[in-house]
Amino acid sequence: MPDGALLIRGARVLRPGADPHRPPVADVLIAGDRIAAIRTAHDPPFDLPVGAEMIEGAGRLLIPGLVSAHYHSYDALLKGRFEDMPFDVWALHSQPAYLGRRSKAELRARTLLGAMEALKAGITTIQDMNSLVPQDEETLDIILSAYAEVGIRVVFSIALRDLPDLDIAPFLPPDLPPDVAALVGGAPRDPAADLAFVEAQLKRLAPLPPRLHWALSPSGPQRSSRALLEGIAELSARYHLPVFTHVYETRAQLAKARRIYPDGSMIRHMAEVGLLTPRTTIAHAVHITDDEIALLAQAGTGVVLNPVSNLKLKNGVAPLVAMKRAGVRLALGCDNNSCSDCQNLFQAMKMFALLASGADANPTGVLACDAVEAATAGGAQAVALPDIGAVAPGMKADLVLLDLDDLAWQPFASAARQLVHCETGRGVQTVIVDGRVVLRGGRLTTVNEAAFRAELAEVMEELERDHAALSARAAPAIPVLLEANEKLSRVDLGMWRLVGGA
Ligand SMILES: [Zn+2]
């Protein structure tokens, strides 16, 4: 825990109970890793404690650090690389299993890059659902130590899947050429061994260093045997850990659920294996029915929406207004760099508000405040950290100061609406995680950025070479995947989530 105190003086403070449009000015005192007290103009001012640092907050907006509740760091270096690819084609080019073992320097660089980008955009907590390749302690330790170095809060899960084939595999022709069959299939894994590996890490790394937290992740119910899903449900109950998994991200996943589950519902299957609980948050839920949304609300299971990646990968728009009306708890994520190209929740918040607005000709009641809530308190709930996501005494000091002199805020009308609709991330001035200033004046305090760029340039040579080889290997599978994808788009599955109607 950092020593000393920090006083943020005279910022507008967006906090529970305050007017979200014109939050009043207050002083916020931080002691160690927590917010100690908040005083407004009506209270006597704080005396600056001896040795305390004072941060000038005049002309600034203080908000809780943003929570990106869905992210994968493994392909952070693959930004700006893909476009116009349906999900399964993209997966073949971006999933870590296809690239194979990476150097220690690359593991470190990619972990740092995503975290640095997130911090600079005011994200203080990320949920990194990480597929370890190879799945061993050395790989895990390199990643966690990079996180500890950069100073972001991370809720880390080791993504498990024992059924390796692509989601679209059941809809491919049976007579695939062997090289294509090998790419879209693969050998199943032993669920008991994978669960034992995860539990061994929970025990070995207990307690985790500050700012690191555990979660559990089956990659997706349709990619997991019943034994694996039940094993994760059991670990979650026994260790009180949150669970994150991909559900109904694509139309192929919907079609597969209709085919493989007795009643065709992935959500009911999750209930059967013990995963439809308040500890679980599902990523995406694009292709979900109203009945299934009601089941989520009833169970207290949350959804983390990733509007940017859903659009980029041609999956469409999740029924977020229906989820909101049903009372499903919502969080927001940036998803991975290979499919959303950046770590920026301002984009996700704006997309959330715009997609809600564009879903109905009449008022929906889904407002900017709801987007802010999903990116802060909603995210905190998803990652099961009740002491982040709000500016209040006793909470962790995970905070962001935004520059109200930036033109995005001129003239000032509403903190909540301008956060969602005007701010791009450019105004992020100061970021505090666990009471420690990790970004000051827009510069990271924990990483030398010039040295980092040199590290990055070094690892990119090998990655470029290996990625070119992967693309060449994947090429023969592309026409087969596109044909299956096109056929699926013509099958009536009772819903249509792409923009512009069926
Ligand atoms: Zn994901």
Average pLDDT of the residues in 270-292: 98
Cβ pair 225, 260 in contact under 8 A: no
What integer pLDDT is reported at residue 235 of this predicted model? 98
Helices (H) and strands (E) in the chain, counts: 19, 17
Task: Indicate if the pLDDT at residue 329 is higher than 50.
Answer: yes
Report how far ligand 1's centroid is from the alpha carbon of 336 (Å): 7
Average pLDDT of the residues in 118-122: 98
Question: Same domain for 47 and 160?
Answer: no
Question: Same domain for 248 and 328?
Answer: yes
> Which is more confidently placed, 80 or 187?
80
What integer pLDDT is reported at residue 2 of this predicted model? 43
Torsion angle of C-alpha atoms 139, 145, 149, 151, degrees rounded to 10: 100
Report how far ligand 1's centroid is from the alpha carbon of 492 (Å): 26
Find the domain containing 29 and state its range.
5-63+399-444
Average pLDDT of the residues in 372-395: 98
Task: Indicate if the pLDDT at residue 501 is higher than 50.
Answer: yes
Report how far ligand 1's centroid is from the alpha carbon of 96 (Å): 13
Q: Is residue 478 part of a domain?
A: no
Report how far ligand 1's centroid is from the alpha carbon of 295 (Å): 22
Q: What is the CATH number of the domain that holds 182?
A: 3.20.20.140
Q: Is residue 255 part of a domain?
A: yes
Question: Same domain for 134 and 16?
Answer: no
Task: Indicate if the pLDDT at residue 271 is higher than 60.
Answer: yes
Average pLDDT of the residues in 352-357: 97
Q: What is the CATH number of the domain that holds 48?
A: 2.30.40.10
**What single-letter DSSP state applies at residue 24?**
P
Task: Indicate if the pLDDT at residue 50 is higher than 90.
Answer: no
List, for residues 183-198, the tens digit of each pLDDT value.
Answer: 999 889 999 999 999 9
Question: Same domain for 291 and 434?
Answer: no
Cα 157 to its chain centre, rounded Å, is 12
Average pLDDT of the residues in 168-175: 94
Amino acid at 219: S
Cβ pair 372, 416 in contact under 8 A: yes
| Cα dihedral 445, 451, 455, 460 sign | positive
Report how far ligand 1's centroid is from the alpha carbon of 175 (Å): 30
Report, in this order, helix, strand and coil percent for the chain, each rounded to 5. 40, 20, 40
Report how far ligand 1's centroid is from the alpha carbon of 75 (Å): 11
Report how far ligand 1's centroid is from the alpha carbon of 69 (Å): 10
Distance CA 33, CA 433 (A): 8
Domain boundary among the residues 335, 351, 382 is at 382
Q: Is residue 465 part of a domain?
A: no
Report how far ligand 1's centroid is from the alpha carbon of 220 (Å): 9
At residue 41 the predicted structure's pLDDT band, cuts being 50, 70 and 90, is confident
Report how far ligand 1's centroid is from the alpha carbon of 283 (Å): 7
Distance CA 155, CA 216 (A): 9
Question: Same domain for 341 and 407?
Answer: no
Number of domains in the chain: 2
Report how far ligand 1's centroid is from the alpha carbon of 244 (Å): 9
Question: Same domain for 123 and 43?
Answer: no
Task: Indicate if the pLDDT at residue 502 is higher than 90.
Answer: no
Average pLDDT over all residues of the chain: 96
Question: Same domain for 96 and 50?
Answer: no
Closest CA to 386 of 235, 159, 213, 245: 213
Task: Indicate if the pLDDT at residue 468 is higher than 50.
Answer: yes
Question: Same domain for 354 and 213?
Answer: yes
Average pLDDT of the residues in 276-285: 98
Report how far ligand 1's centroid is from the alpha carbon of 30 (Å): 34
Report how far ligand 1's centroid is from the alpha carbon of 71 (Å): 6
Q: Is residue 449 part of a domain?
A: no
Question: Same domain for 82 and 104?
Answer: yes
At residue 222 the predicted structure's pLDDT band, cuts being 50, 70 and 90, is very high
Q: Is residue 453 part of a domain?
A: no
Residues listed for the chain: 502
Percent of the chain with pLDDT over 70: 99
Question: Same domain for 49 and 75?
Answer: no
Helices (H), 327-386: 337-340, 345-358, 368-375, 377-382
What integer pLDDT is reported at residue 1 of this predicted model? 37
Report how far ligand 1's centroid is from the alpha carbon of 224 (Å): 15
Closest CA to 395 of 41, 50, 31, 44: 31
What integer pLDDT is reported at residue 3 of this predicted model? 56
**What single-letter DSSP state applies at residue 224?**
S
Question: Same domain for 16 and 162?
Answer: no
What integer pLDDT is reported at residue 337 of this predicted model? 96
Report how far ligand 1's centroid is from the alpha carbon of 112 (Å): 19
Report how far ligand 1's centroid is from the alpha carbon of 9 (Å): 39
Farthest-apart Cα atoms in the chain, separation: 78
Backbone angles phi, psi at 394, to 5 degrees: 95, -20
Average pLDDT of the residues in 61-79: 98
List, for residues 398-447, the tens digit of each pLDDT value.
Answer: 999 999 999 999 999 999 999 999 999 999 999 999 999 999 999 999 99
Q: Is residue 204 part of a domain?
A: yes
Provide the 10 A C-beta neighbour count for residue 235.
18
Q: Is residue 500 part of a domain?
A: no
Rg (CA), the chain: 22
Q: Is residue 491 part of a domain?
A: no
Question: Same domain for 273 and 198?
Answer: yes
Report how far ligand 1's centroid is from the alpha carbon of 214 (Å): 17
Report how far ligand 1's centroid is from the alpha carbon of 250 (Å): 12
What integer pLDDT is reported at residue 186 of this predicted model? 83
Cβ pair 226, 252 in contact under 8 A: no
Distance CA 110, CA 79 (A): 11
Report how far ligand 1's centroid is from the alpha carbon of 245 (Å): 8
Report how far ligand 1's centroid is from the alpha carbon of 130 (Å): 9
3-state SS class at 329: coil
